[in-house]
Structures are given as C-alpha cells and as structure tokens.
Amino acid sequence: MPIKTLDEMLATVKSSKNRRVAVACGHDPHTIEASFRAVKENVVDITLIGDKKSMEMIAGEKKIDLGVFDIIDEKGEWKAGKKAILMVRDREADILMKGMISTSLYMRLILDKEEGLLPERRILSHIAVLEVATYPKLLFAADVAVIPLPNLSQKIQILNYCIEIAHMFEIEKPKAAIIAATEKVSLKMEATVDAAIITQMARRGQIKGAIVDGPLALDVAISKECCEIKGLKSPVGGDADILLFPNIEAGNSFYKSLTQLGRGSLAALVTGTSAPCILTSRADSEDSKFLSIAMAAKIVKE
C-alpha cells in the first residue's frame, strides 16, 4: 500500500535494518535532540563528529545520554565535515547529516570531485516530503532549496529523482504536476513551455514511472474542485503526488507556507548523491530533523 503519512513511513523504517548516520559537526542542540530520538526509537545508529566538549555541555542541558552515540572528537569544522564524508564514502556510514557546519562548506564537501558524494553527470537537488491535514496524502516538492532556476534538462533530472523516491514510498504510479502560474502554454512564460515539453516527453515514454501533466497552476494540481470550476481535464489535476516547481522562490515559499502557516510536517533530503544527505534549515524543528533522518533511512539503497 502507498505510504500516505510520515508516521507510516516511520513505521516501515523501525521494522527494517538500522542504518548508520554520520553527523558533520554534531554539536548542535536540535541535531543532538533529533539524533537522540532517532536512536532511542530504533530508527538509525548515529556517529556524532565534532567538538565533544560542546556536545557534553548540550547533553547536560538537555538531559541527553551521549552514551547512545558513537562520538569522534574533531573540533575543526572542515576536518569534522571531511571525516563524515569519508565515513559515508568508505561505507562506514550509510547517511550524511548536516550539524553545526556551514551550508556552503557542507555542500562543497558533497560536490568535491575527488572525495565527494555526487556521481558524474548527476545534479544536486533537494526534495521535501510534506504532510498537511488538508491533503489526503504526502506531497513530494522539488526543488525547494538548492537550484535557484533549473533549466529544462535539470527539471527532468529533478522529476526523475522525485519519481524514484515516490516509488520508495510504495507509490507505484505517482502523479506529477509540473507547476506554473497558468495551465495555458505561453511563449512569454518559459515555465509553461518547459512543462509542456516534459509532459509530452512523459507521454512518449521518455520519462517513465509516473503520470505527468503540465503546465498546471498549484490550485488545480491539488484541488479537484478548482479543476471543475476551471473546466480542466487532467490525469493529475486535484490528485498530485509530486509538485515540480519552476524556481526556488516558488518551491521554498510553498514548503515554508505549509510548515509555518499550515502546521504541516516535513522531511527533506539532498538528492542526486550516491548516499542520502540530510540538509535541514537552522529554523527547522527537532521533529523535522528527526523525520528527515527517518526518510534518509527509508531510501538507503542496498
């Protein structure tokens, strides 16, 4: 059965083999709290790499037992990040996670051509999986955090990443909406042209594993009533699983609106890499970090 909630996703992870997470600069309060919960709930095993004294101070304040973790004392940000990356490359860990390391350095280490985690001919992207009370299933939204303005080729790769992850959530034929401001193709709006091309490619079998339609405005992608009002007939309309956004402003505003105003739950990952990489915002809750750890464990490949 398709996984329709993040709790259902969590249950499948708890019943499977534990994976190991290497946390780069693990001396961050929210990260330690989320990591402690993940270990105690038997989701993953965790190695914290970073300033051990800072970890001990945080653990004391939060009443957390550091004994549940493996700890590598490494005070330098670059050295701690490098150690975490190498653990994943050497298969001493299955998942990489960002702690108190700058996003720019974290991304540089992932992208390093010699010792990073991005295979050749793949792009680095980001997928957020969102659960909101007003929608009956999970939404897979991309790209909301990495690529500012993806071109047509990048959009196709991002869509394929979304389809692959949706399949891992047991969604056999996810419905993908290519989002734009309107359902009409206009040469003045590049997002609508790209959406029409992607849709035609999917119909001809060049994009597999999903039902794809676009351009679709956000309202018709997720509301059958809006489709009826507008007289739109679409195999995706009102029932989308995947939302492919035209740019980072649209995607980022969408997911933050759902989490901050709609009180939605969130799990998110960097995609395109050879192993799952967790990249959460500093403002994301401990719960979001915990769910992102669970999502990473869910998509680890054998």
Summarised one tens digit per residue, pLDDT across range 26-74 is 998 889 999 999 999 999 999 999 999 999 999 999 999 999 999 999 9
SS3 266: strand
pLDDT band at 301 (very low <50, low <70, confident <90, very high): confident
What 3-state class would DSSP assign to 45?
strand
Residue at token pair 């929210």: 30
pLDDT, average across residues 229-251: 97
CA angle 250, 253, 259 (to 5 degrees): 140
CB 267 within 8 A of CB 6: yes
pLDDT > 80? residue 206: yes
Which pLDDT does position 98 carry in this prediction? 93
Residue 98 has φ and ψ, to the nearest 5°, of -85, 125
Q: Inform me whether the pLDDT recorded for 150 exceeds 70.
A: yes
The whole-number average pLDDT for the span 242-257 is 96
Task: Calculate mean pLDDT across residues 179-184.
Answer: 97
Token couple for 125: 């992207």
Domains, the chain, with CATH or none: 6-118+273-299 (3.40.50.10950), 125-260 (3.40.718.10)
pLDDT for the residue 282: 65
Asked if pLDDT for residue 283 goes beyond 80, the answer is no
Q: How far apart are CA 139 and CA 147, in angstroms?
A: 19
Q: How confident is the model at residue 284 (pLDDT cuts 50, 70, 90)?
A: confident
pLDDT beyond 80 at 281: no
Average pLDDT of the chain, as a whole number: 95
- Residues 83-92 pLDDT 10s: 999 999 999 9
* pLDDT band (50, 70, 90) for residue 302: low
pLDDT of residue 95: 97
Q: Measured in Å, how far apart are the chain's first and last C-alpha atoms? A: 21
Query: 64 is written with which tokens?
Result: 């957390």
